[in-house]
Amino acid sequence: MERKSFASIEPKVHPSINDYDFDFKNASLDSKENEQIVEEMMSFFSEKIPKENDGTGEWEWLQKQKQNNFIDALLKGRIDVVSEFLTNMFRNEATYGYLSPSFSDAVLSPDTVKSDILCNIDSCFEFSDISDAVDLTSACGNPYGLKINGRFVLPDTPRHFYYSYNISRLLENVTAPFLIEIGGGYGGLSLQNWKRFEGNCAIVNIDLFPALAVTYFYLTKNGIPVNLVTEKKCEVKKNMVNLIFAEEVKNVWKMIPKIDIIFNSRSLCEMHEDTISEYFNFINLSKTKFFYHENSNYLLFPNSERHVEVVADKFPINEKKFRLLSKYLTPFTGGSGRYREYIYKGL
C-alpha cells in the first residue's frame, strides 16, 4: 500500500513568543577585520578550489539559485567580498540551506520562527543534558534569532546540541572519539562536539567547497583548529576538525583510521542518487561502530524542481554490516515533520 501521509509532531505556537527578545533585522557588521582570516582561508584551500559548482540534487539547485553570489566571489578570490559575506554569514546567502530556516526565509514569517526556536529549546531541555540556554548561543557570523546576553540562539543550535548529546551517549566508553560528519553545513555540530569532548577527539567534516569555506571561517572564529585532508595531503589529525572535499571521499577514505561514528542530518536525502551511492560505498566499507542520521522519509514535493529527494528508507545501507537499533520521529521542527532519526550499529 502506498503511503499518502506521514506521522509528525503537530505544529504549534509557543505560548511565550512575546516574552523574549528576538532579532531578525537585516543588519550588517563591518568585515574589514576578517579579511586576513579570509586570505588565510583562500590560501588554505588554494590547491583544491573548484572552477565551478560542485553540488548535486537539491544542492545543485541551491548553489545556482540561492548561493550564487557568494560562490562567485569565492571562485574569483575576491577577499573583501568573501569577508563581507562570512562576517555576516547567518544573515545572507553564504549559509542558505545550512539552517532551517535560512535568514531570508525566516524574515518572511518571524513569529513562526520565534515559536520554532522556543519549541526547539524546550525539546533540547527535555531530550538532552542541557542546563542553561546560554550554552546554545552564538556570537560570530552576525547570528539572528533569540537574543540572550548579547548573543543569539540560532534555529538549529538546539538540535545540534541534542545530536552531540546522543553521539556522546553512543560513545560513552570511548575516551577520544573519531567522528565523521557528512555534510556539516556551517560547522554547528562540529562546534558542539568539540565543546562536549573538550577537543579530545578527531572530527572529520565532509562537504562541498562553499560549506567548507564557511566552516573554516566559523570554526576559526571560535578558536578551533582545522586541517585540510586531500589525496596529496591525506593525514587526518587528532584534536582538530579535518575538512575533506566531497569529491575526495573516494580517494582518501582508506586513509581514515578506525571510525567511531558517521553522522548526517537532513542532507543525504537531498543529494543525487549517484552521490548517495558514493557516500554509502564509504559508509558500508568503513567498519564504523555507529551510523546515525536524520533525513526525510516522505517525498513531500514529488514534482518540485528544487526538492530532489531520496527517502531515507531507500538508502543503500548494507544490512549484513549494520543493524538498525532505532528509528523515530525527530522532536525538532523543520521539514513539515517528515524527518526521521536512524541509528545503526556496525556488526
62: phi then psi, degrees, rounded to nearest 5? -60, -40
Whole-number pLDDT of residue 35: 97
Is 58 domain-assigned?
Answer: no
pLDDT in tens, 203-260: 999 999 999 999 999 999 999 999 999 888 888 999 999 999 998 888 877 778 789 9
Please answer whether residues 82 and 116 qualify as being in contact, where contact means their C-beta atoms are separated by less than 8 angstroms: no
120 band by pLDDT with thresholds 50, 70 and 90:
very high
Is 281 domain-assigned?
Answer: yes
CB-based contacts of 168, cutoff 8 Å, min separation 6: 196, 197
Length of the chain: 347
Is 287 domain-assigned?
Answer: yes
207: phi then psi, degrees, rounded to nearest 5? -160, 180
Is 339 domain-assigned?
Answer: yes
Work out how many domains the chain is built from and give that number: 1
Please answer whether residues 267 and 59 qualify as being in contact, where contact means their C-beta atoms are separated by less than 8 angstroms: yes
CATH classification of the domain holding 171: 3.40.50.150
CB-based contacts of 233, cutoff 8 Å, min separation 6: none
Q: How would DSSP label each residue in 194-207?
A: HHHTTT-SEEEEEE
**Number of other residues whose CB lies within 10 A of the CB of residue 8:** 14
Do β-strands 261-265 and 290-296 pair in parallel, antiparallel, or remain unpaired? parallel
Rounded CA-CA distance 41/255 in Å is 24
Determine the 3-state secondary structure of 74 from DSSP.
helix
pLDDT in tens, 56-76: 888 888 999 999 999 999 999
Long-range CB contacts for residues 149-152, cutoff 8 Å, separation at least 24: 152/23
Question: How does DSSP classify residue 236?
Answer: P
Rounded CA-CA distance 343/150 in Å is 36
Rounded CA-CA distance 103/93 in Å is 8
Q: Give pTM, 2 decimals.
A: 0.96
Helix (H) or strand (E) holding 168: helix 157-170
Is 221 domain-assigned?
Answer: yes
- How many Cα neighbours within 13 Å face the side chain of 134? 3
Please answer whether residues 226 and 216 qualify as being in contact, where contact means their C-beta atoms are separated by less than 8 angstroms: yes
Is 2 domain-assigned?
Answer: no
Whole-number pLDDT of residue 168: 98
Q: Tell which wins on pLDDT, 10 or 313.
A: 313
Give the residue numbers spanning the domain of 238: 157-346
Is 263 domain-assigned?
Answer: yes
Is 67 domain-assigned?
Answer: no
Whole-number pLDDT of residue 308: 63
- How many Cα neighbours within 13 Å face the side chain of 154? 25
